[in-house]
Amino acid sequence: MQNEVIWDIKPLPEDAEIQKLSKAINTNPVASALLLQRGITDFDSAKTFFRPSLNSLHSPYLMKDMDTAAERISKAIQNQEPILIYGDYDVDGTTSVALVYRYLSNYHKKLDYYIPDRYEEGYGVSMQGVEWAHKNNFKLIVSLDCGIKGHEPIAHAREQGMDFIVCDHHTPGESLPNANAVLDPKRPDCDYPYKELSGCGVGFKLLQAVTAKMAWDESLLFEYLDLVAVSIAADIVPITGENRILCYYGLEKLNNRPGVGLQALIKVAGLTPPLNVGNVVFGIAPRINASGRIGHANEAVSLLVSNYPAEADRIASLINTKNQIRRDTQEEITHEALSIMADNEEYQNRKSAVLFKPDWHKGVIGIVASKCVDVHYKPTIVLTESNGMVTGSARSVSGFDVHEAITLSSQWLDQFGGHKYAAGLSLKRENLDAFVLAFEEAVSSTITPEQERRHITIDAEITLDLITYKFLEVLNQMAPFGPGNMQPTFMVRNVRVLKATLLKKAHLKLSVEQNGAVFDAIGFSMPELYDQDLAEREMDIAFNIEENNFRGIRSIQLRLKDIKFTE
């Protein structure tokens, strides 16, 4: 393990800058260096960072087409027209639908929502969904977290006499769909100052605009920020700029006054406040996703829009059961996929991996792809068969654009889309072999040796005696953590191992010492290191600092990310 990982140590800011900021905000030099690395250079920028304000949110009307979209929704409300809210089946999509549905239902009763079936319709706006809207006499469809590439179904909706508003955050194709309004900060012609909103974030901006146009009280809209925070955490968007503000206040709502549905999920997940981004990513999001993976995501939306605790508890319990089925299915397929890679020499020599088995469960193959990347660390696509097509998910390694590699081999595909690190695709069975070769060629010709190695970014080198509760308090105030503002990772050189134990045959627990300072350190899923006779050995450690509350006893714990032996 220690031979595989490169530690990238961030350069320290200039000493004069560190001293200046330390004096301005009365903090220690290490904390000041961390802030300077994040672009915080003076008292004012520190205040903005540590005390995010909802007043700092950009005007929604800076987004291209926003006025048209807000005007059309306002008109529908004033004229009592039925509005269909259409969303994707993942966490971002379902929270988006729940946000818009719950908020607008305070003022407008002619609302319904539609989530496409993951297996029958697939991702995005579907012809089936448009037909359902037409049959049920909707005159306005608002799509959330999807639609930017839905040219055909949106054109069909317009031909049927329906108006269409797209709210999306994915990168557009060469042309935009023919909707009445296309809200997407990633549009090339959109001057909106912040480009990294989640799909639910774009939906929130639309509601801000409608609220202003209708002269409603904006404070009611802020009551739904817990849904926005869940979307930001789950969709792995940068927690910077507006996302930091929305996530900060959304987590505050989640911890103090969560919506009925989210409260039920928190309960079945066994989570106890204070909840952070990690709790959302690993506790709440998988359960919301399980609804669409193992059944139909309508169930998740029903939970998130519920106003009745008994009903919410019942749905949350059903979703929790599906999540366990999802975990069991995922583990079984992951074991199969990893066995294929281990038993086939071809995979060892390739820069990429494309794995296919027609009976793998479509709902979990994205997670399986991520698990394969964790083990073998190469861009990986996992495919199954669905509705006569080969379909699946791609996941990447740090720094490598898997979406671009798929684009380079897209002549063999029927459909694809996604981000730098995750994408979805579908193709005909007869084109699979050609695609595998083309994808391998695309990856091997563009991936760099640096991208083929695991990296850990070290924010600062410190000594153990610097780790105090006061320092931890400063670190905690830097939250919420996520892409763009990762939890700081530290390194300490030459610590001595006093004691080593193995917990549950999987997790390494060490007691480490340096110059009289002693801390417990936990390394999750590092059983292989326990066998290396660690007691009294010296090593360098990379870790996060966290608080541990065990049976009411509060202590500081180091969460190990990697170790390097120094002898």
Go through the chain and tell me how many residues it has: 567
Angstrom distance (rounded) from CA 492 to CA 488: 13
Instruction: Retrieve residue 265's tokens.
Output: 């999920």
Residue of 45, 47, 115 lying closest to 87 (CA atoms) = 115
Residue range 364-423, pLDDT digits in tens = 999 999 999 999 999 999 999 988 999 999 999 999 999 999 999 999 999 998 778 889
H-helix segments, 269-364: 277-279, 285-294, 298-305, 309-343, 345-349
According to CATH, where is 3.10.310.30 located in the chain?
Answer: 344-452
Residue range 486-526, pLDDT digits in tens = 999 999 999 999 999 998 888 999 999 999 999 999 999 88
Contact assessment for residue 521 and residue 541, using Cβ atoms and an 8 Å cutoff: yes
pLDDT computed for residue 532 by the predictor: 66
Q: Above 90 in pLDDT, residue 3?
A: no
Q: Above 60 in pLDDT, residue 32?
A: yes
Q: Hey, is 523 helix, strand or coil? A: strand
Instruction: Give the residue, 423 or 69, on which the prediction is more confident.
Output: 69
Residue range 322-350, pLDDT digits in tens = 999 999 999 999 999 999 999 998 898 99
Topology given in CATH for the domain delimited by 56-320: inorganic pyrophosphatase (n-terminal core) (3.90.1640)
The strand pairing partners of 113, in sequence order, are 85
pLDDT computed for residue 529 by the predictor: 77
Statement: the pTM of the whole predicted model exceeds 0.95: no
Q: Above 70 in pLDDT, residue 531?
A: no
Topology given in CATH for the domain delimited by 5-11+455-565: OB fold (Dihydrolipoamide Acetyltransferase, E2P) (2.40.50)
According to CATH, where is 2.40.50.460 located in the chain?
Answer: 5-11+455-565
DSSP label of 19: H
pLDDT computed for residue 551 by the predictor: 79
pLDDT computed for residue 439 by the predictor: 98
Instruction: Give the residue, 433 or 530, on which the prediction is more confident.
Output: 433
Residue type, 444: S
CATH code of the region 344-452:
3.10.310.30
According to CATH, where is 3.90.1640.30 located in the chain?
Answer: 56-320
Mean pLDDT of 276-300: 95
Angstrom distance (rounded) from CA 235 to CA 370: 14
pLDDT computed for residue 406 by the predictor: 98
Judge if the upstream peptide bond of residue 13 is cis by omega within 30 degrees of 0: no
H-helix segments, 478-522: none
